[in-house]
Amino acid sequence: MPTPTETLNLAVIIGSVREGRFAPVVANWFVEQAGQHGRFDVDLIDLADTPIPLELPAVPPAMEPDLPRPASMEPLTRRLAAADAVVVLTPDYNRSFPASLKAAIDWHYTEWQAKPVGFVGYSGGSGGLLAIEQLRQVFNELHAHTVRDYVSFPRYYELFSPDGTLKNPEEPNGAAKVLLDQLLWWGTVLRDARRERPLAV
């Protein structure tokens, strides 16, 4: 495990880009939790800030990881590559996750490999669990490791106050701590493994 002063680079990805989205409220809460944890350098990545084409090139990134990507996507690619661990924040859209998130995932390949991925979900019904379970399959295909625990906000509009704070924070804060502890352990182990024995797939 890292020393108490050592930190990991944690990318927190806002997966929703729709107008009027609630995602930034949940993201701000989680970034605060990660800051209080004290073992992460957090990079909040909002996919709404990056133009991501839905059309993949003829040769997908999984087959040609070094294939040049659109210039507008270069900052996103660089930030994902720098991450030691990832948290994906997603709603449920029609029992799945947003197309913007799938496009961001599919445009990359090596950036996900041998890294832990955690999830924070929210929706009016399942709390994002339908999206999370599908995302586990996607990331496993990309040689990422999805950690077991997650944070879920069903009926999120009843859980947050107008100022963006949680009405009853104890349980969500505890769930965030468990998730972050798992990401710290896996992120440290996999970071060291990538340095000593790069993944060959």
Q: Is the pLDDT of residue 1 over 80?
A: no
Q: β-strands 116-123, 40-46: how paired?
A: unpaired
The string of pLDDT tens digits covering residues 151-186 is 999 999 999 999 999 999 999 999 999 999 999 999
Average pLDDT over the chain, rounded to whole? Answer: 93
Helix spans in 51-201 (H): 74-82, 99-106, 129-141, 156-159, 170-196
Tell me what pLDDT residue 120 has.
98
Residue 5 in any domain: the answer is no
The string of pLDDT tens digits covering residues 47-69 is 999 889 888 888 877 778 777 78
Confidence of residue 3 (pLDDT cuts 50, 70, 90): low
Higher pLDDT, 144 or 70: 144
Structural domain boundaries, residue 102: 11-195
Is-contact 68 102, C-beta < 8 A?
Answer: no
Residue 40 in any domain: the answer is yes
Residues near 144 by Cβ (< 8 Å), separated by ≥ 6? 86, 112, 113, 114, 115, 116, 117
SS3 of residue 57 by DSSP: coil
Residue 83 in any domain: the answer is yes
Q: What is the CATH number of the domain that holds 168?
A: 3.40.50.360
Number of domain units in the chain: 1
Residue 4 in any domain: the answer is no
CA-nearest of 137, 155, 147 to 190 is 147
